Amino acid sequence: MKYEQLAKDIISNVGGKENVSNVVHCITRLRFKLKDEGKANTEVIKNMDDVVTVMKSGGQYQVVIGNHVPDVYKAVVTVGGFQGQEQVDETEEGPKGSLFSRFIDMISSIFTPVLGVLAASGMIKGFNALFVALGWLTNTSGTYQILNAAGDALFYFLPIFLGYTAIKKFGGTPFIGMAIGAALVYPTLSTLTTGEPLYTLFSGTMFESPIHVTFLGIPVILMSYSSSVIPIILSTFFAAKVEKWLRSFIPDVIKTFVVPLLTLLIVIPLTFMIIGPIATWASSLIGAGSLFLYNLSPVIAGILLGGLWQVIVIFGLHWGLVPIAINNVATMGFDTILATVFAASFAQIGAVLAILIKTRDKKLKSLSIPAFISGIFGVTEPAIYGITLPLKKPFIISCIGAAAGGAILGLANVKGYIIGGLGIFGIPSYISPDGLGMDLWGALISIVVAFVVAFILTYLFGGIGKEQKNSTNSEVKAASNEVAAAIVQQEVITSPLHGEVKALSEVEDAAFSTGALGYGLAIEPTEGKLYAPVSGTVSALFPTNHAIGITTDSGADILIHIGMDTVQFEGKYFKAHTVQGEYVEKGQLLIEFDIEEIRKEGKLLTTPVVVTNYKDYSIELTNKKQVTTVDELLKLDVK
């Protein structure tokens, strides 16, 4: 329970456990489905230690944690009393969002719980293929067979795993979903397709189907459902509806066994006779359709998907492509859709490495090291949210590098043969069953190109030159800062704005008015310009430019938040004149904002100016009612 307090704070600020409909986690994020997102204190959560940022997308409230999200998730489940169940309130009603948001929410909820094992299984299969290609193993050896079983089991029995997660998402009983999935891959049924068929349906069409068995005289089209995705999702959706209907009138005394009995008797035959064949045909059409679009111009597809992939990931919309890729592998034996984005994570770490080498800002450098290491293994959220996105230009450049890599992947017609690991662990996914070939070499060339392009462009044009220029005296500052920290007993924080001074208690935001985010004052601005109230390093600059954090030379952390709920404008009325990591001088213009337009939108412009590490200081507040940017606002004395 290392993260017990963090879990308590997160649950409290998402509106309490009664506001949580479900919660799952992926590699870096807690994904909440909230009954009312308006109850969540997003800014408070964003400023918590161990929280990278908060995203709202696809009908989900996503709290980005980083690599240790599984531990935080366990703490959230324990503290919230969710009993390890991702689905907390299966009867939740209310706004569901757009059809697209609901689709993304459904896909992510179904696949997120198996993501870790899915990646691990793919890695085992990929390395097994690599060992055979290098001649280290033969495909008849016992070692190969056992490793193949370890890697292939999840994919072969994927309908059982998805049966659990899918029916849970739809509000049904998980073991009913698993039973349906198990029936789809029941091995005895595959033996029934041998020999002459009784007759053939749809002869001469693309849906031609030999009939080997019937159910109560009705023809059954037997198909292979191992590794399939769509049939089990549709079947469990229908099963959840049937189960709910049966529970509405069957007496409680026999409900425990009669409801599962009737649900299975109804759904499984219908799945084999109707749902399964239709879903399988639909799967084949989707795979053929995606391949057709790819074949129109693989290069353009690679540029667009590769270049936009990181943007898609930011909004959590990449789940819409995952089932298509899995379906393509199941129906065609390979996938080209996710293959086009393989180089994106390497472009991201190329940009981060350039920043790591060039920057002289200690905090930015310290953030870059773990972000680079995580990115090597395909986990790029720390790099995106902590470094490149706040700096803007490096993020754009990383997208350009990813587009270049995607173009190579498209030009070489690279195919992925398994849904494997991320980052360097994804490389074996491009080894063809026939051995080492252009798929692997194309993938390797693409990641080198993406990495080099992003590295060079970021180093030359990444916008960190100004930060470096401002840090030309950093060696002197670094040498003197330790002495200054001991000698400087008092620091004066001037007003960053022209305007009227207000007490924090008057701010219409509980996170500030209660002092949860720090101690200080608020200003009602009369001019849309924010100046540095002290010399120091820009430790945080929100992507929407509505809030900024500055760490002074003596170590005080100052947070300035322009207006209330102005994050909703997504930067529309704000223009930053600085970047995260830059050393700024007192009185330097940092941000401009349009007062009139913000007020027309009905938002308050009350701007808190707080010291977040206030416990280290004795703070004296000004008694002035009106201030300009030359007036003293706060006086800090080191305790």
Question: Contacts for 266-272 with beta carbons within 8 Å, 24 or more apart?
Answer: 266/242, 267/180, 267/235, 267/238, 267/239, 267/242, 268/179, 268/180, 268/183, 269/215, 270/238, 271/180, 271/183, 271/184, 271/231, 271/235, 272/183, 272/215, 272/220, 272/221, 272/222
Neighbour tally for 527: CB within 10 Å: 14
CA distance 598 to 609: 19
CA distance 222 to 145: 28
Which among 146, 517, 416 has a CA at the least distance from the CA of 137?
146
Pull the structure tokens for residue 34: 């909230």
CA distance 188 to 186: 6
| Residues linked to residue 87 through DSSP beta bridges, in sequence order | 22
Which among 233, 237, 333 has a CA at the least distance from the CA of 279?
233
Token pair 């379906």 in the structure block, residue: 327
CA distance 250 to 241: 15
- Give first-to-last CA distance, the chain, whole Å: 32
Beta strands in 198-282 (DSSP E): 199-201, 209-211, 213-215, 218-220
Question: Contacts for 167-171 with beta carbons within 8 Å, 24 or more apart?
Answer: 167/236, 167/239, 167/240, 168/86, 168/87, 169/87, 169/106, 169/109, 169/110, 170/236, 170/237, 170/239, 170/240, 170/241, 171/87, 171/90, 171/91, 171/240, 171/244
* Residues forming the active site: 26, 561
Residue 362 backbone phi and psi in degrees, to 5: -65, -40
Phi-psi region of 40 (alpha: psi -120 to 50; beta: other; left: phi over 0): beta
CA distance 465 to 476: 19
Neighbour tally for 376: CB within 10 Å: 15
CA distance 6 to 75: 8
Q: What angle do CA 56, 167, 230 make, to 5 degrees?
A: 85
Pull the structure tokens for residue 29: 């994020």
Neighbour tally for 483: CB within 10 Å: 9
Buried b (16+ CB within 10 A) or exposed e, 101-132: bebbbbbbbbbbbbbeebbbbbbbbbbbbbbb
CA distance 605 to 429: 52
Listed in sequence order, the DSSP H helices in 412-473 are 438-461, 465-469
Using CB atoms within 10 Å of the CB of residue 254, give its burial: 0 to 12 exposed, 13 to 18 middle, 19+ buried.
exposed
Pull the structure tokens for residue 300: 């353009």
Cβ atoms of residues 162 and 232 within 8 Å: yes
CA distance 593 to 215: 70
Cβ atoms of residues 622 and 633 within 8 Å: yes
